[in-house]
Amino acid sequence: MAKLELQNLYKKYSPKVVPVKDVSLQVEDGEFLTLLGPSGCGKSTLLRLIAGLEPVTEGQVTIGDKNVNQVPPGDRNIAMVFQSYALYPHMTAAGNISTALKLRKMPQAEIERRVQEAAQKLELNHLLDRKPGQMSGGQRQRVALARALVRDPEVFLLDEPLSNLDALLREQVRAQMKQLFKEQNKPVVYVTHDQTEAMTLSSKVAVLYDGQVQQLAPPNSIYNKPANQFVAGFVGSPQMNFMTLKCQENTAILGKLAIPLADISNIPNRIILGIRPEDLRLATPEDKYVLQGEVFLVEELGKENLISLKVDDSDLTIRVLLPTDCDWGGKTIQLALPLKQLHWFDLETGDRLGN
Ligand SMILES: Nc1ncnc2c1ncn2[C@@H]1O[C@H](COP(=O)(O)OP(=O)(O)OP(=O)(O)O)[C@@H](O)[C@H]1O
Ligand SMILES: [Mg+2]
């Protein structure tokens, strides 16, 4: 029995606004599931259904072995961290962290022990007497995390908890969080639209679009074998390149190249080819499948460059090291096509074709 299970869950606000459509998933103890998707795809709504902050329209939410559809949020033993922190402004950090424990009438000594332990883990000891107005955004965020940790809940729910932090702080808290939740050994459901967070923190990622789960898999499968064109385009930066190609016999035609479509069974008339910018490299004389492209933009990233080029009427971006001390504009370069790293998608449905 999974610790947290959603079965065919729906949320309808009106016939046209259905932000959660037939979502089923399970999260076990110690699993870190991330809900990843663009703004408005239903991530927060799904989290609020699990927390009981919104009634379910259809389907079941199970925690432990109990259906909690009718259980009010306060009785679900869930700790939720909101994007907006939701701290009490008139209380100190220590007061905010311990509120839920006081409500539970936990002995004072145990409350203090838990607050100290969480404060230590999140490096908040010197801030316990401060009120939220006297703390930075990152410090408030860590207080909100500490408040969730001390409760020892059955499930952790986190809604974009790092989105208000600057890039450096986000990296630090992200690393801390990974370790902290590992130690908790409880199911975690984490909402973000940041793919780096999803890839680094999660044991499983559910990519959501328009209220539906597009793919539910470990991060490396999401990246290496995206289930459809939406997932392929959403995960990876810069975005995967897509080209629509005509098919002929068992090949797809790209300029003068006939690319074999070995493991696709019913080959359509036209097909979408996907190539990640990092999978393209400059060709050497040994390469058999070579593309020719005309450079129109070079962006320096420091360690490497993003090169945009025109290939057979399409624009491609590649990520490579190129000397930048000469003007590449208008120059023609040869790229090796990595047959094993190509992705194929159905033109109509966007579904992945082949392996
Ligand atoms: N109370 C409500 N009444 C009507 N529609 C709502 C309500 N709450 C959310 N919605 C709609 O449901 C959809 C999903 O909203 P939700 O907040 O779950 O998105 P999200 O994926 O969390 O987006 P973001 O990344 O911007 O936070 C949106 O179109 C939103 O307008
Ligand atoms: Mg949201």
**DSSP assignment string, 133-145:** GGS-HHHHHHHHH
User: Of the ligands numbered here, which is closest to the C-alpha atom of 82?
Assistant: 2
Task: Give the per-residue pLDDT at 292.
Answer: 92
| CA-closest residue to ligand 1 atom 20 | 40
Domain boundary among 204, 234, 264: 234
Residues 81 and 59: their CA atoms lie apart, in Å, by 24
- 67, 150: one domain: yes
- 158, 130: one domain: yes
Task: Give the per-residue pLDDT at 225.
Answer: 97
Domain that holds residue 169: 4-234
Task: Give the per-residue pLDDT at 301.
Answer: 83
First to last CA, the chain: 31
Cα dihedral across residues 35, 38, 40, 41: positive or negative: negative
Given a contact cutoff of 8 angstroms between Cβ atoms, the answer to whether 189 and 182 are in contact is: no
**CA of residue 70 to ligand 2 center, whole Å:** 23
- 192, 277: one domain: no
- 164, 68: one domain: yes
Residue from 10, 11, 17, 209 to probe ligand 1 pocket by mutation (most atoms less than 8 Å from CB) = 17
- 334, 191: one domain: no
Residue from 11, 12, 13 to probe ligand 1 pocket by mutation (most atoms less than 8 Å from CB) = 13
Residues 321 and 288: their CA atoms lie apart, in Å, by 21
Given a contact cutoff of 8 angstroms between Cβ atoms, the answer to whether 156 and 187 are in contact is: yes
**CA of residue 43 to ligand 2 center, whole Å:** 6
10, exposed or middle or buried, with CB in 10 Å at 0-12, 13-18, 19+?
Answer: middle
The type of residue at 194 is D
- 167, 255: one domain: no
Domain boundary among 207, 234, 261: 234
Given a contact cutoff of 8 angstroms between Cβ atoms, the answer to whether 115 and 88 are in contact is: no
- 142, 90: one domain: yes
| CA-closest residue to ligand 1 atom 11 | 19
User: Of the ligands numbered here, which is closest to the C-alpha atom of 193?
Assistant: 1
Residues 37 and 47: their CA atoms lie apart, in Å, by 13
Task: Give the per-residue pLDDT at 214.
Answer: 98
- 246, 173: one domain: no
For helices 108-121 and 137-150, the axis angle rounded to 10 degrees is: 130
Task: Give the per-residue pLDDT at 2.
Answer: 60
Q: Is the CB of 13 under 6 A from ligand 1?
A: yes
Task: Give the per-residue pLDDT at 123.
Answer: 86
What is the rounded (10 degree) CA torsion for 218, 237, 178, 144? -120
Q: Is the CB of 44 under 6 A from ligand 1?
A: yes
- 26, 169: one domain: yes
CATH of the domain at 210: 3.40.50.300
Number of Cβ within a 10 Å radius of residue 110? 11
- 135, 267: one domain: no
Task: Give the per-residue pLDDT at 324.
Answer: 65
Place of tokens 């040994």: 286
CATH of the domain at 288: 2.40.50.140
User: Of the ligands numbered here, which is closest to the C-alpha atom of 16?
Assistant: 1
Domain boundary among 191, 219, 234: 234
| CA-closest residue to ligand 1 atom 26 | 39
Instruction: Tell me the pLDDT of the chain (355 aa) as tens digits.
Output: 569 999 999 999 999 999 999 999 999 999 999 999 999 999 999 999 999 999 999 999 999 989 999 999 989 999 999 877 889 999 999 999 999 899 889 999 999 999 999 998 888 999 999 999 999 888 898 899 999 999 989 999 999 988 877 788 788 888 888 888 988 999 999 999 888 899 999 999 999 999 999 999 999 999 999 999 999 999 998 999 999 999 998 999 998 899 999 888 888 999 999 999 999 988 999 999 999 999 998 888 888 889 999 998 889 999 987 666 667 777 899 999 999 999 999 999 999 998 8
* Domains held by the chain: number: 2
**Token duo for residue 7:** 């079965």
**CA of residue 240 to ligand 2 center, whole Å:** 25
Residues 204 and 193: their CA atoms lie apart, in Å, by 15
Q: Is the CB of 19 under 6 A from ligand 1?
A: yes
Q: Is the CB of 39 under 6 A from ligand 1?
A: yes
Residue from 11, 20, 41 to probe ligand 1 pocket by mutation (most atoms less than 8 Å from CB) = 41
Given a contact cutoff of 8 angstroms between Cβ atoms, the answer to whether 199 and 224 are in contact is: no
Place of tokens 């890839």: 199
Place of tokens 């259809």: 58
- 348, 271: one domain: yes
- 132, 276: one domain: no
- ∠ CA(179), CA(187), CA(230), 5° rounding? 90
| CA-closest residue to ligand 1 atom 16 | 42
- φ, ψ for residue 124, nearest 5 deg: -120, 5
